[in-house]
Chain A
Amino acid sequence: MTIASQSRDIAFLTEQARNVRIEILKMLTKSGSGHTGGSLSAADVLTALYFYKMLHNPSEPSWPGRDRFVLSKGHAAPLLYTVLALTGYMDKSLLDDLRKLGCPLQGHPSSKLIPGVEVSTGSLGQGLSIANGIALGLRLDKNPARVYCLLGDGETQEGQVWEAAMSAGHFMLDNLCAIVDHNGLQIDGKCSDVMKIEPVAGKWSAFGWHVFEIDGHSMEEITNALDEAEKIKGKPSVIIAKTVKGKGVSFFEGKAEYHGLTPTSEELVKALKELGKNGK
């Protein structure tokens, strides 16, 4: 099965994003440990990538023609694992054992344990450099595949992100598209209080990137931006996706404390109700 950008069915993608959120919540409730807020905030973006934009082949994870994805914000592992399971890279039952001893689903993604994970991440700020390297390698090989890299907004406080941003601009990596999950929160509170990251768009633009600013929960806007980014030549693209941390569950939304907290069983029931699953 090769999943590709054949049809841009917004209703279908929205439904998939809802399923992704439901699986994330169930998984995190079972594990009792993991990152809820940042997994939910980027759920729409990753759904659009894996169910629409990226050309990939779950039955042949290392197929050379595949588009690549690098999860620079490695703590959103529950989100990545969910889309990998739902697109057929692994058995969905594995999601039950997130973070458990012996389970390949580590707290942060390990590429040696899970097919479909290009590279191990978890320590912030490193993914974009890796994505650049992949993009350079593909270009050398005249391989038309594209590279996507998801970063957290708090993550852009890491200096290496800007080294990599400078490199991608310098090497004019138009086969690369970065996405910043701009939910405005980090562990210790609001990004603006902890360490101001604004102006986000201005920074990327100054480093030679084409910048898209979108609503990161609008499937319409996400898919549009991903399509448009492909047409930008001579420079890398970044999509600044304005999102809400904990999106989809009213009592998690916008709360920094749910960066690393998981739902209780009672919260799960309520959350699934909100997502229209009646606790199933």
Chain B
Amino acid sequence: MGSREEQTTANNKQKQDFCGQAVATRDAYGAALLELGARNDRVVVLDADLSGSTKTIKFAKAFPERFFNMGISEQDMIGTAGGLSLTGKIPFASTFAIFETGRAWEQIRQTICYSNLNVKLVATHGGITVGEDGASHQALEDVALMRVVPNMTVIVPSDGFETKQVIDTIAEYEGPVYVKLGRAKVPAVMPEDYKFQIGKAHTFNIGKDVNIIANGIMLPAALKARDILSQEGIDAGVINMSTVKPLDTTALLEAAKNSKLIVTAEEHSVIGGLGSAVTEFLSENYPMPVKRIGTNDTFGCSGKPDELLKLFGLTAEDIVKTIKTALGS
């Protein structure tokens, strides 16, 4: 047993790390960046006029000389981040996911990835839970766009606790990384002893009937689906595949070999993202039934996040329904 002081320090640290807290992953990012900026002066941050939304504004206020607001010019932001990395800085470049990955895709490919520069692309407002802004602002293609580029690492954290660790980890990793974060508040799902590692999935449990491979906001939905299924006698497992590239094929294979069905769940198009990555691997290495849950080759629309999740079939109930249909039960 530690002293009361030690316990207080531990509790404060946990609070700072967002362990067990329901926060938006973008808020965890803002806080993580601020802390990172204080301990590593190589960290610089760029934003394209959305610092209030991406939460890089916290860093901007604390370290104005290391913050560059590039205005509404994502392509220039990516190139500038690349240049800063060439002087030994660790640039974090942030804007909304669709503008970061879509508007500046070829800059990311040519300047950042072909030269293998140490630039961290941390985008917020990924997915339909952007809500009211509608389709123009809802990135459902970003993971696909980033996954296809050589040298890129792609991470979709699930909650604030994981996001904090992802940001700390990628600052120490040399090379391009894309991180997709969300706008809306999300429940805390990762256990207290969780330690994020690039390319390492977290297996909550292995189910004998089905295993759900999820990331981002679909992880809490997957866990809820597992509990509903369990009440109906279906043994479901859940894996948090927060790193989409490189995919943790060891964890995936273990889940595949021990169940009859694999279901992927992501707040992204079923084309090109986690569902594709899992399906590509399994079809070549361990062919078995797979169902992908995501948006079905369609744009989003305006609405409240919860309404949109229902409309696009991204709830725990949708996961349950898909699994029961696939298992014929």
Q: Which residues from chain A sit less than 8 Å from chain B, CB to CB?
A: 68, 70, 110-112, 118-123, 125-138, 140-141, 143, 159-160, 163-164, 166-167, 170-171
A129 close to B82 (CB less than 8 A): yes
- A170 to B, closest residue via Cβ: B71
- B78 to A, closest residue via Cβ: A129
Docked Cα-Cα span, A87 to B233, in Å, equals 74
A137 close to B73 (CB less than 8 A): no
Docked Cα-Cα span, A121 to B110, in Å, equals 7
Docked Cα-Cα span, A132 to B21, in Å, equals 40
- Known: A166-B73, A167-B71. Is A136-B107 also a contact (CB below 8 A)? no
- B80 to A, closest residue via Cβ: A133
Q: Which B residues are CB-close (under 8 A) to A68?
A: 86
The answer, yes or no, to whether B204 is at the interface (CB within 8 Å) is no
B85, chain A: closest CB distance, angstroms: 7
B60, chain A: closest CB distance, angstroms: 15
Docked Cα-Cα span, A163 to B74, in Å, equals 9
Q: Which A residues are CB-close (under 8 A) to B114?
A: 110, 120
Q: Which A residues are CB-close (under 8 A) to B115?
A: 110-112, 119-120
Q: Mark B250-278, 1 if CB is under 8 A from A, else 0.
A: 00000000000000000000000000000
Question: What 16 new A-B contacts, CB under 8 Å, besides A129-B78, A136-B84, A167-B70?
Answer: A119-B82, A119-B117, A122-B110, A125-B75, A126-B111, A127-B79, A130-B86, A131-B83, A134-B86, A136-B68, A137-B86, A140-B44, A140-B65, A159-B75, A160-B76, A171-B68
Among A111, A118, A121, A137, chain B packs the most CB atoms within 10 A around the CB of A137
B74, chain A: closest CB distance, angstroms: 9
Q: Which residues from chain B sit less than 8 Å from chain A, CB to CB?
A: 44, 65-66, 68, 70-71, 73, 75-89, 91, 106-107, 109-111, 114-117
What would be 24 A-B contacts, judged by CB atoms less than 8 Å apart?
A: A110-B114, A123-B106, A123-B110, A126-B75, A126-B107, A126-B111, A129-B76, A129-B80, A129-B83, A130-B79, A130-B80, A130-B86, A131-B83, A134-B83, A136-B68, A136-B80, A140-B44, A140-B65, A140-B89, A141-B88, A160-B73, A163-B76, A164-B76, A167-B73
Docked Cα-Cα span, A70 to B110, in Å, equals 14
B225, chain A: closest CB distance, angstroms: 44
- B109 to A, closest residue via Cβ: A123
B292, chain A: closest CB distance, angstroms: 33
B115, chain A: closest CB distance, angstroms: 4
Q: Which B residues are CB-close (under 8 A) to A110?
A: 114-115
Docked Cα-Cα span, A171 to B73, in Å, equals 14
A119 close to B87 (CB less than 8 A): no
- B41 to A, closest residue via Cβ: A140
- A130 to B, closest residue via Cβ: B83
Q: Which A residues are CB-close (under 8 A) to B116?
A: 112
Q: Contacting A134 at CB < 8 Å: which of B44, B66, B84?
A: B84
Docked Cα-Cα span, A137 to B66, in Å, equals 9
Q: Which B residues are CB-close (under 8 A) to A70?
A: 83
